[in-house]
A and B are shown apart, each in its own frame.
Chain A
Amino acid sequence: MSGQLIINGIVNASLIAPPAIAFSLLFGILRFPNFAIGAYVTVGAFIAYALNVGAGMPMWIAGLGAMAGTAVVVWLSDVLVFKPMRGHTPVTLLVVSIALALIIEHIIRLFYGADVRGFDLPLERPIKFAGLRITGEQIDIIVMTIVIGIAIHLLLQYTRIGKAMRATADNETLAEVRGINTSYVIAFTWFICGALFGLTGVFAGLDLVIEPLVGWYLTIPIFAAAILGGIGSPYGAMLGALLVGLAEELTVLVLPSSYKIGVGFVIIAVLLLIRPHGLLGQPEIKK
């Protein structure tokens, strides 16, 4: 059983890694945990659903549409809600993000209700090897996540905009002084993250079920992964996702599964107690 659980854990990880990277990048510029990420993911799932089932488009076009559409929604949430409130305390912004999550979730509910939905794709039977099972779709998701991880890495390390993003995350004022157009960089970051949330919505729609709370279910594992990896560190977020994904699966070996939902929290708590800045995060230097 434990072999299968490890595969399960890797699949979990590849679902939460992209949004954990996005959450981490956003945290770099926002400095508060944005609780609306779950709602962004839900938006992605519903846009993909509308394109795939509503408009009859193939899944890959629906997926790209969901990424683009969610990027716009996420960017708008900054323009309309967060940007005018920059400079408020992290906790105020956190509460605002919860309010925003409620608003988005219920706008979706207003139009779609609470029914369960799925994409127009047949469910797949697994490929079996050595008593272990994985589906082609899951392999696709894992591969895409790895590609995304590498792409984000390349973006941050080698492109002008990526370097500007890192500089802005490190110290916005200093970046501004050095001639970086930080408001452009911030908008770009929101777009990239929005696209990642949109993609996660597609993955979540494939893996779970499309309904107004689907993104919310992922929120705590995403937080756990990002915090575990060290907030602000995209590579850490990937590592964090892997550990959270595995931990949630392996829990059943030692605890009744009815406690599984608490595992993410326990990981966060224990890790923060040992390494308050995460596995790969830099300790914050108090001024």
Chain B
Amino acid sequence: MSAYLISMATFVGFFMILALALNLQWGMTGMVNFGIAGFYALGAYTSGLLSVKLGWPVGITIAMSCVTGLIAGGLVALLSMRLREDYLAIVTLGFGEIVRLIALNEDQITEGPRGLKIDARPFADMFDRETYPLVYLALVAAAVAVVFVIVECIRRSPMGRTLRAIREDDVVAEVLGKNVLRHRVQVFALGGAFMGLAGALYAHYVQNISPEVFMPMVAIFIWMSVIVGGAGNNWGLLLGAGVVMTILEGSRFLGDFIDFLDAEQLSAIRIIVIGVLLIAILRVRPRGLIPEPKFSFAASSTEQGRQPSTENAK
């Protein structure tokens, strides 16, 4: 059981890094990203391929994953700077799908649908098989901590205030003399780098990646984490990632006790429950379990949709 919990905690760690990155992009800056699976895949394949095909040391390949994520994030942001947020949702979703299609079709490089087997693992020689999962969990936890600190520092800095201003109304931010484009590109690129990092850590943990791993569903789980936890609030989404994973995995244990439904019905019910819970949480606590603390300027924002929706809480 404890081995299972360690493993799930590791998976929650990947979710947390992705959720923190999304929070930076969307929760704090208002830039929608539905291509999370694409950045995740990019990180996983970058590190995996460099280590499998070129034999580079894992430390360097993981760093390279951050770099590819950074570049991809920057490019996507530059390309889509003029888009409204819901259009950006579709363009980023497309980015994710195209990354997956490339991984699927360019099999001379990526091994295509067969999937890529990755032997290399960080620090694997230094520990025995029993302790290694804990070591990996510690590594992922450290990565979460680093990402958390960076994102939290940005949030508290003057830059964080600028980002929120962009989120609330980019025209006003522009008028106030903020370089909206530069901030957006920076934030999206940084978020992309974090997602790349998560992908690399995932790849060396599961040691076998294939294009099917990186379906758009991954993005949906991360969105759930951020929204459930409370967009804009970094502590909240750490909780959100835990809650989402608990719902996803916890419902597995139901199957061990309920035997009047067949497996197909049970898995259908499981996803129905996840969907209903998500909608219910959004109805009851529209700003998440731990909402973002209010900032004075937020109250003066005129955009209706951005207002903390007291009228919806009734």
Chain A interface residues toward B at CB < 8 A:
32-33, 81, 84-85, 87-92, 94-96, 98-100, 102-103, 105-107, 109-110, 113-114, 223, 227, 256, 258-259, 261-262, 264-266, 268-269, 272-273, 276, 284, 286-287
Contacts and interface: CB of A to CB of B under 8 A. Distances in A.
Contacts of B309: 87-88
Interface string B253-279: 000000000001100110110111011
B101 A261 contact: yes
Nearest to B216: A98
B182 interface: no
Contacts of A96: 278-279, 282
B159 interface: no
A273 B286 contact: no
A90 B305 contact: yes
8 contacts: A88-B282, A99-B278, A106-B272, A109-B268, A227-B90, A259-B101, A272-B82, A273-B82
Contacts of A103: 271-272, 275-276, 279
Interface in B256-314: 264-265, 268-269, 271-272, 274-276, 278-279, 282-283, 286, 302, 304-307, 309, 311-312
B79 A269 contact: yes
Given A107-B268, A258-B104, 17 more contacts: A85-B286, A87-B307, A88-B312, A90-B85, A94-B86, A95-B220, A95-B227, A96-B282, A106-B268, A106-B275, A107-B272, A258-B105, A261-B101, A265-B98, A268-B90, A268-B94, A272-B91
Given A91-B32, A95-B227, A100-B279, A272 B98 contact: no
Given A91-B89, A276-B83, A276-B87, A265 B97 contact: yes
Given A33-B89, A99-B275, A99-B278, A262 B286 contact: no
B189 interface: no
A284 B305 contact: no
Contacts of A98: 220, 223
Contacts of A99: 274-276, 278-279
Contacts of B79: 269, 273
B224 A265 contact: no
A273 B75 CA distance: 13
A91 B271 contact: no
Nearest to A259: B101
B19 interface: no
Contact of B282 (A95, A265, A266, A284): A95
Contacts of B227: 92, 95
Contacts of B101: 258-259, 261-262
B171 interface: yes
B86 A265 contact: no
A95 B223 contact: yes
B275 A95 contact: no
B93 interface: yes
B179 interface: no
Contacts of B282: 85, 88, 92, 95-96
